[in-house]
Amino acid sequence: MPSTPFARQAAALLWQHRNAGTTLDTLPAALRPADIAAGHAIQAELPAVSGQPVAGWKIAATSAAGQAHINVGGPLPGRILASFVYAIGERVPLQGNRMRVVEPEFAFRLGADLAPRDRPRTQEEVFAAVASLHPAFEVPDSRFGDFTVVGAAQLVADDACCGNFVFGSAASDGWRDADLRGARVHATVHDASGVLRYAREGDGSAALGDPRVALTWLVNELASRGIGLTAGQYVSTGTCMVPLAVTPGDRVGADYGRFGKIDLQLAP
């Protein structure tokens, strides 16, 4: 995807707002992407303007709930930069975040490169490159004051609402042949004093019907744009339930059954 001054300037502006914790109503007319392709060109400049490597990829809006949350009609890919990843036990900041939700997700970590090619890869080919399965959380965010009205092209430019991530330990052996579509996830949100605020359940079918399907979609979508994935990168496949509304200081937990558990502490 060739670089353009327009794309680099738009990416730099979005990165500036991310660092400052500020928002804009829309990108300036001179920098606003006219279509999804232009949005991808802007997103592709984020590693350069941030000076950070790509630690992985996310898929926004893989479920009806996720699509309704940002008002789009289908999934959107985004880059997970290195500074977006927090270790288990680290407090994840919520200050300046406008979405104020946590999303439990199924994530895969690649063990082999998946270079772009003209012919789409099958699910079996993609899954052969996967090294491990992980429970994950995303705390998504947007640089737009009202992310529900700016449209898919600008949301893609803004990294598909990519926020901060926590990836749990790899699932134990046996996950390759398991039913991820029907895998239940039980999530809880406790307040800063430890009182349970609410619980919610979901399953893997929210991610385009199956996390494997979502992963395959991402690989082929990126390949169609000349982008490959590399060994060691994560792919988080989208929320498996209605996003969990949170406030600063909350503690969020998710139990993925045989695939493990994950906890996240939000900074007060």
Quote the CA–CA distance of 234 and 218 in Å, as a whole number: 12
Tens-place pLDDT, residues 76-110? 999 999 999 999 999 999 998 989 999 999 999 99
Predicted local distance difference test score (pLDDT) of residue 3: 61
Estimate to the nearest angstrom the gap between the alpha carbon of 262 and the chain centroid.
Answer: 16
Please identify every stretch of the chain with a pLDDT value under 50, giving residue numbers as ranges.
Answer: 1
Question: CA–CA separation, 204 vs 179, rounded Å?
Answer: 9
Closest CA to 40 of 238, 232, 226: 226
Closest CA to 79 of 113, 105, 40, 27: 40
* 3-state SS, residue 86: strand
Total count of residues recorded for the chain: 268
pLDDT in tens, 37-67: 999 999 999 999 999 999 999 999 998 777 8
Domains and CATH numbers, the chain: 5-266 (3.90.850.10)
Count Cβ atoms within 10 A of the Cβ of residue 135 and give its class: 0-12 exposed, 13-18 middle, 19 or more buried. buried
Model confidence pTM above 0.85: yes
Tokens of 179: 């039913």
Three-class DSSP category at 260? coil
Centroid of chain to Cα 7: 21
Q: DSSP string of 185-227?
A: EEEEEE-TTS-EEEEEEEEGGGTTTSHHHHHHHHHHHHHTTT-
Query: In angstroms, rounded to a whole number, what is the distance separating the alpha carbons of residues 19 and 75?
Result: 26
